[in-house]
Chains A and B, each alone.
Chain A
Amino acid sequence: MTIFNLFRKQRSAPTARERLQVLLAHERSSSGSDLVSLLREEILAVIAKHVQVDSDKVQVKMDRDEDVTILEIDVEIPLGAVSQAA
């Protein structure tokens, strides 16, 4: 710790990095492609044939990596809905 550090402003790069990570995760999954919303609708339709689910309980996310794109599907089924269907 030198005397200069006392007057130094806080490091801003970690904030930039964090803001970008949050923003891009959102932008990639929502505005990113029509494919995601299309998949979401069709997946919802298939599930709805057998189980009653809320449309906002189906999350479809697309994430990009250097080599692969991962499609993440998260469906929340209400308690009891599965046993009723079975």
Chain B
Amino acid sequence: MGKVIVVTSGKGGVGKTTSTAALGAALAQRNERVVVVDFDVGLRNLDLVMGAERRVVYDLINVIQGEAKLSQALIRDKRLETLFLLPASQTRDKDNLTPEGVERVITELKRVFDWVICDSPAGIESGATLAMRHADMAVVVTNPEVSSVRDSDRIIGLLDSKTMKAERGERMEKHLLLTRYDANRAERGDMLKVEDVLEILSIPLLGIIPESMDVLRASNIGSPVTLADARSAPAMAYFDAARRLAGEVLPITIPGEKRGIFGKIFARRAA
């Protein structure tokens, strides 16, 4: 039976879709069977970030409404044999996402895949609560910025009350993925530090993804950053996060903290 992960944040634009794609591709590179599921009905983007936008025929809503079989809607990645995408519908309304339909699809996916990664829409409405509903584990994506931290706190509250796990009285496993982190700015006191965010949100850290041009470059070409440039700093941070998701214990490193003499001079100037 596969594990269901929800990638969520409350706030939009913090890197849920990027992280879903990057973690999915990282896990698939370990030869595990992975499906990434887009729950953002009406505003789908996971297909674009994965580079599969021209291959979408059927989507999650079609499967829920019985218009297509799950196997017809799943898109196999061209680069990784064990990576699949279940796209959201772009034309339908999110009201087509029914609780029963979602439950049926997730149950079926769990049987086939080792990992079912649900990319949640922003917000706290039905799309977001349905994306987290059947999760075994949550990845809370947060930027080191006040509004993102506040919204993550709200989402943590929902994960602890509105999910199946919470309703059964079990404990929902939650992990913080801190994205767009700039160690230099944090060091200068111009950005919340890792410790600050951890102390405020009180959930364990899954990884720290550095602010990087490589993330935009990867989405430009339609490739998860862990596939586009596996040696880049954000990719390496996502690989580590994926290993932690799979249960490995690794020391957390803060990307970009070691700076050479040139870096130091430059950082001073920039300040």
Contacts and interface: CB of A to CB of B under 8 A. Distances in A.
A28 B157 CA distance: 8
A24 B196 contact: no
A10 B145 CA distance: 17
B189 A12 contact: yes
Interface in B203-243: 203-204
A27 B268 contact: no
Interface in A23-50: 23-24, 27-28, 32-33
Contact of A11 (B190, B203, B269): B190
Interface of A: 2, 4, 8, 11-14, 16-17, 19-21, 23-24, 27-28, 32-33, 64-66
A32 B196 contact: no
Interface stretch (B30-38, B82-90, B146-154): B146-154
Contact of B189 (A13, A24, A65): A13
A contact patch SS:
helix
Contacts of B188: 11
Interface of B: 145-146, 149-150, 153-154, 156-157, 161, 186, 188-193, 196, 200, 202-204, 268-269, 271
A1 B200 CA distance: 31
A80 to B, nearest CB: 40
Contacts of A19: 146
Contacts of B200: 17, 20-21, 24
A20 B149 contact: yes
Nearest to A17: B196
Given A12-B190, A19-B146, 15 more contacts: A4-B268, A11-B188, A11-B189, A13-B191, A13-B192, A14-B189, A16-B146, A16-B192, A20-B150, A20-B200, A23-B150, A27-B153, A33-B157, A33-B161, A66-B203
Nearest to A34: B161
A19 B192 CA distance: 12
A19 B154 CA distance: 16
